[in-house]
Amino acid sequence: MTATTLRRGRLSGRLIVVSLGAPAAPLAVLLLVREPNLQVLITLGSVLLTCLVVGGFALSRLLTTRYHLTAERLELSSGLLFRSRHSVPPHRVRSVDVTASPPQRLLGLATLRIDTGDQGRGLRLDGLAAADAADLRRLILGWRATGPVTADDGLLCELDRSWLRYAPLTVWGVGAVLAAAGSVYRTLHEMKIDPLSLGVVQDLVRRFGSVPLWYGLLLAALALIALGAACSTLTFIENWSGYELRRAEGGVLRVRRGLLATRSVSMEEGRLRGVELVEPIPLRWAGGAKLDAVTSGLGDRDENRRRRPLTPPLPRTAALRVAGQVLAGEGLLDRVGLASHPRAALRRRVNRALIAAALAAGVLAGLGPWLGQAFVTAGWVTGLVLAAVLTAFAWDAYRALGHGMRGRHLVMAYGTFARRTVVLRRDGIIGWTITRSPFQRRTGLLTLGATTAAGDGVYKVRDVSVDQGLKLADAAVPALLAPFVEEQ
């Protein structure tokens, strides 16, 4: 019997503009060069040949890709020389996402990604008309739900422009600036160009070469922080413009965001196992936080980390409100009322802080006999300062520890540089891992890991007493750990 056809189609013909437009760039360069030599002709010829090959593959995919959605399966076929065919039943569909890069947006196109939970590979339909991609996603979600397609249930959260104040407070921006500087230096070095001989660098040397070393280092640090803040702000604008979190048709949470490249990620609520509140320094000092989903069906672990954010950096109170709407429960992320951890956990963190401070001081002081007494003095000063600072962080890390059960959820909290609070559904826990270092065995501590088929895979309750950990595991998932525990 012939299956009922819900949708049949092919890629948009507008993709041919991209396929045939790629070789135009080297030809334009060739026209601009008045007297091209042999080296220029060879280079441009190589680029032109590469563009023709890439454009040819894209054109063949455009002409041969077909999709067919029936009541029983989704079929996708493509390829000219090597033909491939995929068939996916409804129960294999995990999520359906729509993205659009800047060139695609100019042409009114989009990419539809269908995740099937197969090692993160899934199916991709590049070059669909944007309206067709949105309509096809709606059909697939309703088809997968085996029920009527309903309208959106409601908006849970949308972008507030005041959240832009949190954009410069993500520390990765400084790392991005350093990485970019390293890449530029390496590229110039490969081209046999000395960066120190450039005019801009020479001008900076003339301006600041005579200032004291400490003043130059201070200016360099301030410039690095300013560039990092600007980079973080621009990235925030690109990633989170037009942000919406919506409970949509087919029982999914849909996150839509992006300025130049738009992204729309769908998370099936049936696969949602919890949420994670992340408060990195200095975002936490400004009262901000981020919210991530603990869910499966978003590809492999790396793709899951890229696609799981539910919110941008926003006020902590707003993040708690969104978490309550997503989990249908208030106060689950509240740290008040969580069980405290033994004082041995504090001693462990303080000991590690003092050891790190002593090692740093010892390295500097050890250079003293060869490089001068100043290094011995610097070692003592560095050791004392680091001991005070790291001990304060150790105390903060201990205060962040906590665990407890709230209804059908297990709550665990930890961290200082990036404080995290995880709410995990107890029925999503499929196993326990218990780890004990030599120090933990000596002080009667253990780390209890809740294993789940979502998110990072294991979420840990760190440095609890043996009695605390075993009782928590048995209360959270009764009888799961009992066969492996011996009564003393």
The per-residue pLDDT for range 241-297, each reduced to its tens digit, is 999 999 877 678 899 998 888 888 888 888 899 999 999 988 999 999 999 999 987
**pLDDT confidence of 5, banded at 50, 70, 90?**
low
With tokens 């993500």, the residue in question is 170
Strands (E), 184-282: 244-248, 252-257, 262-268, 272-280
Element (H, E) at 13: none
Ramachandran angles phi, psi of 417, nearest 5°: -65, -35
Considering 75-89, 95-109, 324-338, the range whose residues carry the highest mean pLDDT is: 324-338
Distance between CA 284 and CA 421 in Å, rounded? Answer: 13
Distance between CA 59 and CA 16 in Å, rounded? Answer: 6
Each residue's pLDDT tens digit, 375-410: 788 888 888 999 999 999 999 999 999 999 998 999
DSSP codes of every residue in 117-181? SSTT--EEEEEEEHHHHHHHHHHHHHHHTTS------EEEEE--GGGGGGGGG-THHHHHHHHHH
- The pTM of this model reads 0.79
Side chain identity at 18, as an amino acid letter? V
User: For all residues of the chain together, what is the average pLDDT?
Assistant: 81
- Number of residues that this document lists for the chain: 488
Each residue's pLDDT tens digit, 55-89: 667 666 667 777 777 777 778 777 766 677 777 78
**pLDDT confidence of 471, banded at 50, 70, 90?**
very high
153 token code pair? 């249930």
With tokens 């605390």, the residue in question is 468
Each residue's pLDDT tens digit, 17-70: 555 555 555 555 555 555 556 665 676 677 777 777 776 676 666 677 777 777
Task: State mean pLDDT over 77-102.
Answer: 76
Task: State mean pLDDT over 351-365.
Answer: 91
| pLDDT of the residue at 140 | 78
Query: Beta-carbon neighbour count of residue 150 at 10 Å?
Result: 13
Nearest to 163 by CA among 230, 233, 254, 228: 233
Q: Say yes or no to pLDDT of 208 above 80.
A: no
